[in-house]
């Protein structure tokens, strides 16, 4: 069975993942929703907001306004604690299933340091067990679902002053930094730190093709991000090689399910329209099935101490059904 699909390199069917970090009041949410609206080509019904900020996202329910003043409503879903990586991943997949094309997550910082987040998972293990050995794979699964989803994703990341306390007598300020894993902002297609209510931003990462939209790496930019920037992004995405939208959507959906294993992947396959399954050769693409099988093998590996990874995950995270109760 082939584990990869080798082909000529072409820009086709791209999905963007953008990161906006900043302190409270820096303009993250407003800017993200404006970008999302443009990326959705002005169709607010294709924009989703995953709100982890105690329903604060609802305060932005009327910010998408046309030139005639008409409010365009987007979709919103609230994620309550525990903020485990698994629950974030489940929520992303729910928005995908709802037909959302551009998802704003506000914020992903709770996945890292919130109630039930990565840092709390680490601290929940006995000292004899290296909690990072279990928390890191859970975080990576969340990132993988986000990167593999059939949606453009814009993540808002809280930022705060960080201090190095290695020498308690002489603490060193490290400046304002995103509250997430150190490499998280560089997992994105493009990422930035935002200031002054959205009027200023520093570009952390930007591919060359998107420099005309956002600016060069390390540069400081002025002016609000608007729906027009999002529309420029969409035109760039659509400017790639034309793809069969149904096939592309189906492949991306299956990829985002693969980490759940073969059984879940087969269920997702059966839910696809018969015509799409036929176009894909009446079977799950080999490289996606190989991925699901590899995930199943990893879950069956016995961890130090004699406990299986699934058992440990259930102890710390609980399954999705229990967490939702």
Residue 10: predicted pLDDT: 60
Q: Is residue 36 within 8 Å of 230, Cβ to Cβ? A: yes
In sequence order, which residues have a C-beta less than 8 Å from that of residue 8 and are 6 or more positions away?
A: none
Residue 170: predicted pLDDT: 81
Tens-digit pLDDT profile for residues 241-296: 556 667 777 877 888 888 888 998 899 899 888 888 888 888 888 888 888 888 88
Reduced to 3 states, what is the DSSP secondary structure of residue 100? coil
Determine what percent of the chain falls in helix, strand and coil, rounding each to the nearest 5: 45, 20, 35
Q: Which of 297 and 305 is assigned the larger pLDDT?
A: 297
Tens-digit pLDDT profile for residues 64-91: 998 899 999 999 999 999 999 999 999 9
Tell me the domains of the chain and their CATH numbers: 17-238 (3.40.50), 245-324 (no CATH)
Beta bridge partners of 71: 65
Q: Is residue 114 within 8 Å of 170, Cβ to Cβ? A: no
Q: Where are the alpha helices (DSSP H) in 58-193?
A: 85-97, 109-113, 118-123, 132-148
Segment 178-193 mean pLDDT:
94
Q: Which of 128 and 201 is assigned the larger pLDDT?
A: 201
């Amino acid at each position: 069975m082939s584990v990869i699909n080798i082909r000529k390199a072409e820009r086709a069917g791209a999905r963007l993942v953008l990161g906006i970090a900043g302190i409270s009041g820096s303009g993250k949410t407003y800017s993200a929703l404006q970008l999302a609206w443009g990326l959705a080509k002005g169709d607010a019904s294709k924009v989703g907001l995953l709100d982890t900020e105690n329903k604060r996202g609802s305060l932005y329910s009327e910010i998408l306004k046309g030139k005639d003043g008409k409010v365009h409503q987007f979709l919103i879903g609230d994620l309550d604690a525990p903020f485990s990586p698994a629950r974030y991943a489940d929520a992303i997949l729910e928005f995908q299933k709802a037909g959302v094309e551009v998802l704003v997550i506000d914020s992903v910082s709770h996945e890292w340091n919130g109630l039930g987040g990565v840092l709390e998972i680490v601290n929940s293990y006995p000292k004899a067990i290296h909690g990072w050995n279990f928390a890191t794979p859970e975080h990576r699964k969340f990132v993988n679902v986000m990167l593999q989803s059939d949606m453009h994703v814009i993540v808002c990341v809280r930022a705060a002053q960080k201090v190095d306390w290695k020498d308690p007598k002489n603490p060193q300020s490290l400046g304002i930094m995103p509250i997430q894993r150190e490499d998280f902002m560089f997992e994105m297609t493009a990422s930035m730190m935002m200031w002054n209510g959205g009027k200023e931003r520093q570009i952390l990462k930007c591919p060359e093709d998107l420099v005309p939209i956002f600016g060069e790496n390390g540069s400081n930019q002025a002016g609000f991000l608007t729906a027009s920037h999002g529309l420029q992004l969409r035109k760039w995405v659509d400017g790639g090689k034309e793809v069969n939208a149904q096939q592309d959507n189906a492949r991306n959906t299956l990829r985002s399910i693969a980490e759940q294993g073969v059984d879940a992947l087969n269920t997702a396959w059966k839910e696809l329209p018969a015509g799409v399954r036929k176009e894909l050769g009446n079977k799950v693409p080999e490289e996606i099935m190989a991925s699901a099988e590899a995930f199943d093998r990893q879950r069956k590996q016995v961890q130090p101490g004699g406990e299986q990874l699934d058992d440990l995950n259930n102890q710390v995270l609980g399954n999705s059904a229990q967490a939702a109760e």
